[in-house]
Amino acid sequence: MLDIKLIRKNPQEIEAKLRTKQPDADLSTVLRLDNEIREKKTRVETLKAKRNELSEQIALLKRKGENSDGKMQEVNAFHDEIRLLDSELVLLEPEFQNALACLPNLPMDDVKVSSDPKENEIIKIWGTKPEFTFPFKNHLELNEKLCLFDFERGAKIAGSGWPVYRGMGARLEWALLNYMIDFHVKNGYMQWIPPIVVKKEIIFGSGQLPKFQGQQYQVLDDENTLFLIPTAEVALNGLYYDEILPEEELPLKYIAYTPCFRREAGGAGAQERGLIRVHQFNKVEMFAFSLPEESSKIFDEFVGRAEAILEGLELHYRSALLVTGDMSFAGAKTVDIEVYLPGQNRYYEVSSVSNCTDYQSRRSNTRFRKKQEKPQFLHTLNGSGLATSRLMVAILENNQQPDGSVVIPKALRPYLGGLEKLVVQIKNCSG
């Protein structure tokens, strides 16, 4: 959430910045409601002061045995107006908060202004595209003989976009997750296992609501409305909801493995079948609570951690600093790390790292205190470290052999009992 004081001070400048991310951004409603609320609150305070003054006068008149009916009528009139204004504020304040909450975070000044993702700046390229001396296959074609996933049975259970991992597919997925968790823990990150459902105020705090209400899965019963998390970022951001952290505890650098759930999947074309875009996928998430002056350093660290994982897996990738119009809603600066998938002949994001500055902490009221000073909003950062579904595709497609087998990256072999290769199954994969 943006600071309304900043908007009041520089409305034209802030609106211009917002429009570099969200072209239809308009501050008129926010400013109108803010002005109405402040005027009504000022009037209430004035009336209450006058009412208190009159109450003192009435008490004095009564002590003297004098008539106070006239002043009592004035007090009652003030009371009626205060009650009316309070009822109007009860309606205005949620409307104002909703309008403010629909505004994205402001991009940092060093982010390129553009609405065209083609103008994202490639800041690093590692490795090279694989060269095949044989007709290569995409991961769906490879799966016909490797028997790693079952998309038809997944569709039978839950509908399209919900894959089932089986046999060595399940083991390879688990190896990936353990490899990434071990990598982060060795680098000093604390591991968490959070719930995969969160309350409305928690998912609001991360910036998913109200803007992306239609993209969330909800769990409804007679007592609760809970949301399935689209990323562990949502749950980790909520750990210190409405709390004040001591300055000396920061930064806090965490990781968490969770399944992630997104309704937005499934609207893409034929190229994005299989594991490319699904409703449920596994991810190891990096998250940090930081002092404002340290968040840029942690941002670079997160990018480096995600890149190191891909290098450990010997996968060709590129890193791109996103332009304003391609950034996440809550992000002030974002780098996407994209791995090359031969079967699609293009790069796909496997990690997105964002510095969200104080946007999420303001929504979640998560603050820190320097000694005895007034609490301040801290900075939050998040990054995929990494998401496995497309990573799985990259491993299969980049490491395929002429006979349909797939070489397992050396980094994953200790998690698979030393296994070096996924081999073609003799039995029918439908069994």
List the beta strands (DSSP E) in 296-394.
317-321, 333-341, 346-355, 367-369, 376-377, 379-387
One of 81, 311, 349, 413 is an active-site residue; which one?
349
Q: Which residues contact 362 (CB under 8 A, 6 or more apart)?
A: 1, 2, 3, 377
Which one of 352, 361, 384, 389 is the catalytic residue? 352
Q: Are 57 and 73 in contact (CB under 8 A)?
A: no
**69 pLDDT higher than 80:** no
Averaged pLDDT for residues 252-265: 91
Q: Read off the CATH number of the domain in which 32 is found.
A: 1.10.287.40
Mark whether 85 and 207 lie in a shared domain.
no
Q: Indicate if 57 and 139 belong to the same structural domain.
A: no
**Token pair for 90:** 């009860």
Q: Is 83 a catalytic residue?
A: no
Residues 262 and 334 in one domain: yes
Q: CA end-to-end span of the chain, whole Å?
A: 52
Say if 14 falls within a structural domain. Answer: no
| Stretch among 112-116, 229-233, 363-367, 421-425 having the lowest mean pLDDT | 421-425
Last residue of a domain, one of 101, 132, 150: 101
Q: pLDDT (tens digit, 9 = 90+) per residue, 108-167? A: 999 999 999 999 999 999 999 999 999 999 999 999 999 999 999 999 999 999 999 999
Examine the residue annotation and report whether 305 is marked as an active-site residue of this protein: no
Are residues 61 and 131 both part of a single domain?
Answer: no
Question: Do 132 and 79 fall within a single domain?
Answer: no
From start to end of 366-416, where are the E strands? 367-369, 376-377, 379-387, 406-407
Annotation says 19 is catalytic:
no
Nearest to 275 by CA among 94, 397, 365: 397
Vertex 352 angle, CA 20 and 26, to 5°? 20
Q: Does the residue 20 lie in any domain?
A: no
The position carrying tokens 């107006």 is: 81
Domain annotation covers residue 431: no
Q: Is 389 a catalytic residue?
A: no
The answer on 132 and 67 residing in a single domain is no
Residue 318 lies in a domain: yes
267: pLDDT strictly greater than 60: no
Residue 236 lies in a domain: yes
Is 361:380 a contact under the CB 8 Å cutoff?
yes
Residue pair 297/260 in contact (Cβ under 8 Å)? The answer is no
Q: What Rg do the C-alpha atoms of the chain give, in angstroms?
A: 28
Residue 266, pLDDT > 50, answer no
- Does the residue 19 lie in any domain? no
What's the structural domain count of the chain? 2
Of 51, 173, 233, 277, the active-site residue reads 277
Q: From 101, 136, 163, give the residue that closes a domain.
A: 101
* Residue 119, CA distances (Å) to 108, 193, 280 in order: 17, 37, 30
Quick one: 70 and 96 in the same domain?
A: yes
Q: Is 390 a catalytic residue?
A: yes
Beta bridge partners of 381: 288, 355
User: pLDDT digits over 345-355, tens only?
Assistant: 999 999 999 99
Report the distance separating Cα 379 and Cα 171, nearest Å: 37
User: 365 lies in which domain range?
Assistant: 117-422
Task: Considering the candidates 171, 262, 318, 367, report the single residue annotated as catalytic.
Answer: 262
Same domain, 134 and 208: yes
**What's the CATH code of the domain at 286?**
3.30.930.10
Q: Does residue 40 surpass a pLDDT of 50?
A: yes
Q: Does residue 134 share a domain with residue 97? A: no
Residue 188 and residue 228 in one domain: yes
